[in-house]
A = this chain, B = another copy of it.
Amino acid sequence: MEIKHLVSSKDLTKDEYEELLRRFNYFVENGISPDLCRGKIVSTLFFAPSTRTMNAFQMAILRLGGGWIGVMGEEGLSMEKGESFEDTIREYSCFSDLIILRHPDDDSADRAAKSSYVPVLNGGSGSREHAIATPWVLLSMAYYLKRPLEGLKIGIYGTPEINRCVKAMMPIFGMYGMEVIIDDLGHFPLPKEIEKRSKANGLKSLKYDKLDNFIGDVDILFLTRGLQKGIIPADKFPKEKEKMILKSYKPITKEHMKKLRDDAILFMLKPRIFEIEKDVDPDPRATHSKKEPYGETGAAIITYYLGIDI
């Protein structure tokens, strides 16, 4: 039997996103039973730093009644003795039922999937892909909006050109026939290839405009992180580009929130460094500061890949 991995956001069909959404909603409504994954094990292998992805999956498998083992950094591993990455991954696939991987190399998730006996979910391979983020963002948006995703109007503010998560989400926005308007700070447009794929998937429209011109229209105001610390290595990210971002990325303020519709949400790819001012946090539409449904999201993804009926 072939093993289903999640190396790229392209690995999931719309039906599969819908199935994940169904499981997510089930857990939100019914809670997460600790009988579902008794004795099951998730390996969280984080060769690059993470707060959210790693802990969210550790949390989810614990809520489901299983447990986790893990790696943070390369210290203490047999890789220090010279073991290859592939051999290390294969060993972890003998230790567990599912692998969540983050690694600085762009091709790491592909290579891991090839040597693993269990599903590998890509939680960030270099600057290229963070495949897990795609269902993650989609389920969160559905949760906070509390209405169907089909045909939504999404405003994006920030640096789509260099943001791996926006690049992964766009084709999915296409699947759901959404309209997208981008304020790229004047300098960081979406790569053409991504635009093309998104439109091929059904994206209703893609426009560029100033945030002020569209903030009152959108269902979701979607912010990228400003800086790319921890994702793009410092030596590969030109200092002048960083300066340009810091100069042109104006944090979201209470004034912005006044223009946002009452039934819209503000959604940010955390960590928030400076992108949203702190006095925005109490706003009910500001989702980054709310009690997040991390357990439910993780449980939907884990049970799906473990083939557990819900």
Contacts and interface: CB of A to CB of B under 8 A. Distances in A.
A297 to B, nearest CB: 11
B73 A76 contact: yes
Nearest to A292: B94
A79 B93 CA distance: 30
A223 to B, nearest CB: 14
Given A94-B291, A292-B94, A59 B78 contact: no
Interface string A247-272: 00000000000000000000000111
Contact of A69 (B58, B69, B81, B83): B58
A4 interface: no
A229 B83 CA distance: 11
Interface stretch (A17-25, A43-51, A169-177): A43-51
Contacts of A50: 76, 78
Contacts of A165: none
Contacts of A75: 49, 72-73
Contacts of A79: 51
A271 B73 contact: no
Given A49-B76, A67-B67, A81 B294 contact: no
Given A39-B63, A64-B39, A270-B78, A291 B87 contact: no
B272 A229 contact: no
A91 interface: yes
A62 B67 contact: yes
Interface in A36-72: 38-39, 41, 46, 49-52, 55-56, 58-59, 62-69, 72
Contact of A83 (B80, B83, B272): B272
A81 to B, nearest CB: 4
Contact of A77 (B41, B49, B87, B117): B49
A127 interface: no
A305 B289 CA distance: 23
A271 B92 CA distance: 13
A58 B69 CA distance: 7
Contacts of A56: 95
Contacts of A51: 77-79, 83, 88, 91
B66 A39 contact: no
Contacts of A72: 75-76
Max chain B Cβ within 10 angstroms of own Cβ: one of A32, A49, A75, A92: A49
B291 A117 contact: yes
23 contacts: A33-B39, A34-B38, A38-B65, A39-B64, A49-B76, A50-B78, A51-B77, A51-B78, A51-B83, A51-B88, A55-B91, A62-B66, A62-B67, A73-B75, A73-B76, A81-B227, A81-B229, A82-B229, A83-B271, A87-B270, A91-B292, A94-B294, A95-B295
